[in-house]
């Protein structure tokens, strides 16, 4: 189980970078540092995680309390909470609590064959926006400075290499950017800086490198991952361009995630056929403590 | 969903030499803000949008013309003219404000007083040389509709290619600015119509006034935006735009540029009162440069629903009344004639709410910093915001009691802080303010606490102090901490 060590490292890594992004927003971009909101997300996520772990541990092994399972799951809960801090805005305590609770609960309640279906942060964000109507995403919050572009790219690159899902990021980013380019520059005839402005928003890059790449909610086989990412890109492009919902990728991600089990089902046969020399990716499942318990 | 390209906005055609920047208002505090300013009222709920464009063109009205890209062929009832005063009222009410407070003499007892002052913003407009009512010259341009609304003759054009449109406009006496074509082409391909306005002299004479009223248009579109690109083609340098937005849910924000709250709730020196307009202009300019220019500044956000009594704190002008809001296009407050939006795709049902949220955004744009038009979204953010600056008058009289001595000490400290903030906010050299400080009637204040005594002190201290922003330290600490952690975990 070498992969446990590996995946844990990647998660700590991710938390650090999420913190750097938040600090960047607060210090350099002058966001109103809404500490109450960040702590609400963090507190709720962690307590929900602990709650579910405890319940599961009791039901399965009658151990009490389940310190190991809790410890293993905490970084995931923090990552989800940080995802909310970076993206979801609200003025309301109850909305913040609901969003964080749904994020974490979805991991335990909406599962298929040992994998949870939805990316916790994305699912929490979408649910909070839909259910409460008083939460929102600010796509413009990062601006589109080119310095930031490289900053995000580099950091994102490293993190995705760490968890080996760079293929997902690129399979999303390249078709999405390509379609936008075709539409804005080739078809409509806008000058190049118009296109650059569209593509260099921090929100899009964060999404590509930190959200869509979640190893737990993307298909296991790399071919399936690429097909799936391209699909997300194409649908997002359509929605961004023709219905003017600038936060489309997050929505599309959530609504396309039910496709993942299907793709896993289809491509599993192939994976088996091919006898993939490196089944390591699939082993990332190990950082799901529930799974670990049941092993 | 049916594809609709819904771009709306103000595009401006300028004849050579007639570029007029009018409306140079002076605030009570003898200050002025930048006068190259356009003003627009946006009302948005669901997919419905009402846009009102300020018109303070002050030349010969025969020279006036305006081209606005619109998403659909507007019907006559979608266009109207409204009272010009609305803009002044909205501006007065939402402009950055200076608030005064009076210290109490701790050795005495005085009633507290407070009152507000304001700086004001001006508007700008449009012109052209002549207009001929020619029929279309080329088949690539089609006159979709022709209306007379108020004092304006209005044509709605559609075009299939930009050279045809450009030629049509040229042949009809419009001066096309250089670089407009790069914008016309994408607009045409996005299936936009062009709303072309000129003044009907006969109707104008009937009105017997010497100004042009604002034009208000309404339409349905999922796209919530203002096309600023056409206007930029001819604008020399930076141009200011004030957007007054009304929604049912909460603030609006820009989705393709960064939103920044302008610095607010700062204590500033007393002498700034005389020049508040200049102070705010400096402040805006400084913040704008500091934020790398491509930003939307929030200057005001409040719930102005008629049933909400607390519209500001403090109010610097009468809050817009229900009548003003309806005039501005807030259709859900009453006007039945604005509710015929039956053909909307995917529209939110009218929930009957009478809430009105007011957002004031201030843009300063130019071609380089703003490559795209402005896109907006309505958020459920109902938090209030106002650009508010505070001056405090010192107490007078005898300070021989212990509390009085302490007060003088505190006053000195406070005033030093005010001076430091003044530099930080406006980026100006403190010594530039020495004259104002000397001129201000500060005589009754203890000599050691007078601004003119403190300015050299603070300025000197600032020289010595290495301006190491705290943010740099935090960032470095974070990076180092992160690196250390990774090293410890064996990742690096």
Q: What is the per-residue DSSP string for A17-75?
A: HHHHHHHHHHHTS-----HHHHHHHHHHHHHHHHHHHHHHHHHHH--SS-HHHHHHHHH
Instruction: Inspect the interface and report whether the beta carbons of A139 and B255 lie closer than 8 Å.
Output: yes
Given a cut of 70, whether residue B346 has pLDDT beyond it is no
Q: B490 versus A271: which is more confidently predicted?
A: B490
Give pLDDT, residue B58. 63
- List of chain B residues whose C-beta atoms are within 8 Å of the C-beta of residue A134: 380
Q: Give B115→chain A minimum CA distance, Å.
A: 28
Q: Give B428→chain A minimum CA distance, Å.
A: 21
Residues B4-15 pLDDT 10s = 333 333 333 222
> What does the block give as tokens for A205?
């890059």
Please name the residue of chain A whose CA is at the shortest distance from the CA of residue B190: A188
Give pLDDT, residue A148. 64
Given a cut of 60, whether residue B273 has pLDDT beyond it is yes
- List of chain B residues whose C-beta atoms are within 8 Å of the C-beta of residue A193: 371
Q: A62 versus B18: which is more confidently predicted?
A: A62
Q: Is A9 on the interface with B (CB under 8 A)?
A: yes
- List of chain A residues whose C-beta atoms are within 8 Å of the C-beta of residue B254: 140
- List of chain A residues whose C-beta atoms are within 8 Å of the C-beta of residue B381: 89, 91, 136
Given a cut of 80, whether residue B110 has pLDDT beyond it is no
**Cβ-nearest to B189 among A27, A135, A188:** A188
Instruction: Inspect the interface and report whether the beta carbons of B254 and A194 lie closer than 8 Å.
Output: no
Q: In what order do the strands lie in the sheet with B225-226?
A: B225-226, B374-378, B252-254
Give pLDDT, residue A55. 84
Residue A217: exposure state from Cβ atoms within 10 A (0-12, 13-18, ≥19): buried
- List of chain B residues whose C-beta atoms are within 8 Å of the C-beta of residue A17: 482
Please name the residue of chain A whose CA is at the shortest distance from the CA of residue B252: A138
- List of chain A residues whose C-beta atoms are within 8 Å of the C-beta of residue B224: 244
Q: Tell me which residue of A211, A210, A256 sits closest to A232, measured CA to CA.
A: A256
Half-sphere exposure of B489 (CA within 13 A, CB side): 17
Cα A109 to its chain centre, rounded Å, is 18
Instruction: Inspect the interface and report whether the beta carbons of A193 and B260 lie closer than 8 Å.
Output: no
ipTM surpasses cut 0.85:
no
Q: Give A31→chain B minimum CA distance, Å.
A: 8
| Cα–Cα distance, A237 to A245 (Å, whole number) | 10
The answer to whether the peptide bond before residue A65 is cis (omega within 30 degrees of 0) is yes
Half-sphere exposure of A161 (CA within 13 A, CB side): 7
> What does the block give as tokens for B269?
């020196």
Give pLDDT, residue A168. 84
Give pLDDT, residue B113. 37
Instruction: Inspect the interface and report whether the beta carbons of B255 and A197 lie closer than 8 Å.
Output: no
- List of chain A residues whose C-beta atoms are within 8 Å of the C-beta of residue B260: 29-30
The pLDDT tens digits along chain A (295 residues) read 344 444 445 777 778 878 888 888 888 787 877 889 999 999 999 999 988 888 887 777 666 666 777 777 888 899 999 999 998 999 889 999 999 999 999 988 888 777 788 989 999 999 999 998 889 998 888 877 656 656 666 666 666 666 556 788 888 989 999 999 999 988 888 888 888 888 888 788 888 878 888 777 888 888 888 999 999 999 999 998 888 888 888 889 888 888 888 888 888 745 433 333 444 444 333 344 444 333 3
Q: Give A206→chain B minimum CA distance, Å.
A: 15
> What does the block give as tokens for B482?
């992160």
Residues B368-426 pLDDT 10s = 888 888 999 999 998 889 888 888 888 877 788 888 888 888 888 888 888 888 888 88
* CA dihedral (B167, B172, B178, B184) positive or negative: negative
Given a cut of 50, whether residue B127 has pLDDT beyond it is no
Instruction: Inspect the interface and report whether the beta carbons of A9 and B223 lie closer than 8 Å.
Output: no
Query: Which residue of A11, A17, A24, A27 is the best one to mutate when testing the B interface, meaning the one whose CB has the most B CBs within 10 A?
Result: A27
Please give the helix or strand (H or E) that residue A163 lies within, else none: helix A146-163
| Cα–Cα distance, B297 to B362 (Å, whole number) | 5
Q: Give A134→chain B minimum CA distance, Å.
A: 5
Given a cut of 50, whether residue B186 has pLDDT beyond it is yes
* Range of A75-79, B15-19, B173-177 with top mean pLDDT: A75-79
Mean pLDDT of B116-140: 36
The answer to whether the peptide bond before residue B314 is cis (omega within 30 degrees of 0) is yes
Q: In what order do the strands lie in the sheet with B152-159?
A: B11-12, B65-70, B193-199, B152-159, B141-149
Please name the residue of chain A whose CA is at the shortest distance from the CA of residue B5: A242
Residues B295-324 pLDDT 10s = 999 999 988 887 776 666 666 777 788 888
Partners of B226 in beta bridges: B374
Contact call for residues B90 and B359 (beta carbons, < 8 A): no
Q: Is A161 on the interface with B (CB under 8 A)?
A: no
> What does the block give as tokens for A111?
């599962």
| Average of per-residue pLDDT values in chain B | 74
**Cβ-nearest to A27 among B182, B474, B482:** B474
Residues 6+ apart with CB under 8 A from A265: none
Give pLDDT, residue B284. 92
Given a cut of 80, whether residue B106 has pLDDT beyond it is no
Maximum distance among all Cα pairs of chain B, rounded to whole angstroms: 88
Give pLDDT, residue A281. 43
- List of chain B residues whose C-beta atoms are within 8 Å of the C-beta of residue A201: 256
Q: Is A181 on the interface with B (CB under 8 A)?
A: no
Please give the helix or strand (H or E) that residue A146 lies within, else none: helix A146-163
First to last CA, chain A: 12
Contact call for residues A25 and A31 (beta carbons, < 8 A): yes
Partners of B392 in beta bridges: B101
| Cα–Cα distance, B79 to B338 (Å, whole number) | 11
**Cβ-nearest to A246 among B255, B379, B383:** B255
Query: How distant, in Å, are the alpha carbons of B41, B54, B57, B240, B282 from that of B22?
Result: 19, 12, 7, 13, 21
Residues 6+ apart with CB under 8 A from A245: A239, A251
Give pLDDT, residue B33. 33
Backbone angles phi, psi at B69, to 5 degrees: -70, 130
């Amino acid at each position: 189980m070498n992969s446990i060590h590996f995946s844990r490292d990647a998660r700590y890594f991710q938390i650090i970078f999420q913190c750097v992004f938040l600090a960047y927003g607060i210090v350099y971009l002058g966001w109103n540092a809404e500490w109450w909101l960040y702590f609400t997300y963090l507190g709720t996520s962690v307590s929900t995680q602990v709650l579910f772990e405890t319940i599961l541990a009791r039901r399965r092994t009658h151990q009490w309390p389940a310190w190991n399972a809790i410890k293993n799951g905490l970084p995931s809960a923090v990552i989800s909470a940080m995802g909310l801090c970076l993206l979801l805005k609200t003025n309301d305590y109850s909305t913040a609590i609901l969003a964080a609770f749904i994020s974490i609960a979805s991991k335990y309640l909406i599962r298929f064959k040992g994998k949870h279906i939805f990316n916790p942060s994305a699912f929490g964000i979408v649910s909070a926006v839909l259910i409460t109507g008083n939460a929102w995403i600010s796509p413009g919050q990062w601006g589109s400075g080119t310095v930031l572009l490289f900053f995000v790219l580099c950091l994102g690159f490293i993190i995705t290499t760490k968890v080996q899902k760079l293929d997902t990021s690129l399979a999303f980013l390249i078709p999405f950017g390509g379609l936008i380019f075709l539409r804005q520059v080739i078809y409509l005839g806008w000058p190049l800086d118009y296109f650059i402005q569209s593509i260099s928003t921090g929100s899009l890059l964060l999404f590509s490198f930190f959200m869509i790449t979640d190893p737990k909610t993307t298909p296991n086989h790399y071919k399936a991952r690429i097909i799936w990412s391209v699909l997300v890109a194409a649908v997002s492009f359509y929605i961004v361009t023709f219905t003017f919902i600038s936060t489309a990728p997050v929505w599309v991600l959530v609504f396309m995630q039910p496709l993942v089990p299907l793709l896993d089902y289809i491509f599993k046969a192939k994976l088996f056929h091919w006898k993939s020399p490196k089944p390591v990716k699939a082993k990332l499942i190990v950082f799901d403590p529930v799974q670990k318990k049941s092993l | 969903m049916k594809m609709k390209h819904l771009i709306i906005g103000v595009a401006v055609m300028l004849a050579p030499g007639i570029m007029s920047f009018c409306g140079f208002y002076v605030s009570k505090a003898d200050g002025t803000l930048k006068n190259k300013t356009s003003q627009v009222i946006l009302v948005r709920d669901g997919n419905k949008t009402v846009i009102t464009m300020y018109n303070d063109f002050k030349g010969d009205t025969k020279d006036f013309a305006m081209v606005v890209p619109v998403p659909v062929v507007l019907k006559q009832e979608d266009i109207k003219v409204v009272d010009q005063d609305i803009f002044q009222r909205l501006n007065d009410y939402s402009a950055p404000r200076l608030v005064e407070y009076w210290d109490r003499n701790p050795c005495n007892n005085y009633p507290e007083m407070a009152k507000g002052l304001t700086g004001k913003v001006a508007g700008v407009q449009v012109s052209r040389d002549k207009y001929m009512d020619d029929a279309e010259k080329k088949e690539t341009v089609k006159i979709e509709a022709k209306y007379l609304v108020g004092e304006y003759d209005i044509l709605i054009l559609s075009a299939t290619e930009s050279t045809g449109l450009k030629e049509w406009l040229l042949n009809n006496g419009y001066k096309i600015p250089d670089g407009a074509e790069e914008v016309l082409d994408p607009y045409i391909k996005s299936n936009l119509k062009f709303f072309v306005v000129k003044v009907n002299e006969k109707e104008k004479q009937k009105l017997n006034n010497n100004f042009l009223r604002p034009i208000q248009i309404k339409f349905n579109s999922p796209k919530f935006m203002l096309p600023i690109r056409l206007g930029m083609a001819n604008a020399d340098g930076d141009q200011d735009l004030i957007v007054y937005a009304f929604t049912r849910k909460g603030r609006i924000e820009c989705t393709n540029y960064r939103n920044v709250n302008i610095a607010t709730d700062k204590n500033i020196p007393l002498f700034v009162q005389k020049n508040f307009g200049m102070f705010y202009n400096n402040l805006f300019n400084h913040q704008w440069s500091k934020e790398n220019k491509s930003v939307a500044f929030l200057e005001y956000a409040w719930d102005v629903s008629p049933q909400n009594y607390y519209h500001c704190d403090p109010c610097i002008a009468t809050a817009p009344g229900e009548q003003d809001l309806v005039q501005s296009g807030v259709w859900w407050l009453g006007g039945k004639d604005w509710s015929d939006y039956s053909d909307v795709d995917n529209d939110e049902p009218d929930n009957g709410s009478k809430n009105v949220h007011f957002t004031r955004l201030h843009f300063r744009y130019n071609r380089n910093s703003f490559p795209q038009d402005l896109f907006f979204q309505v958020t459920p953010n109902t938090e209030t915001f106002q650009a508010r600056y505070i001056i405090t008058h010192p107490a007078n009289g005898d300070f021989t009691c212990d509390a009085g001595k302490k007060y003088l000490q505190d006053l000195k400290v406070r005033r030093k802080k005010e001076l430091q903030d003044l530099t930080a906010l406006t980026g100006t050299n403190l010594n530039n303010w020495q004259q104002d400080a000397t001129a201000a009637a500060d005589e009754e204040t203890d000599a050691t606490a007078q601004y003119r005594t403190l300015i050299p002190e603070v300025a000197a201290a600032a020289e010595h102090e290495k301006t190491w922003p705290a943010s740099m330290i935090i960032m470095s600490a974070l990076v180092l901490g992160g690196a250390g952690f990774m090293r410890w975990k064996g990742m690096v």
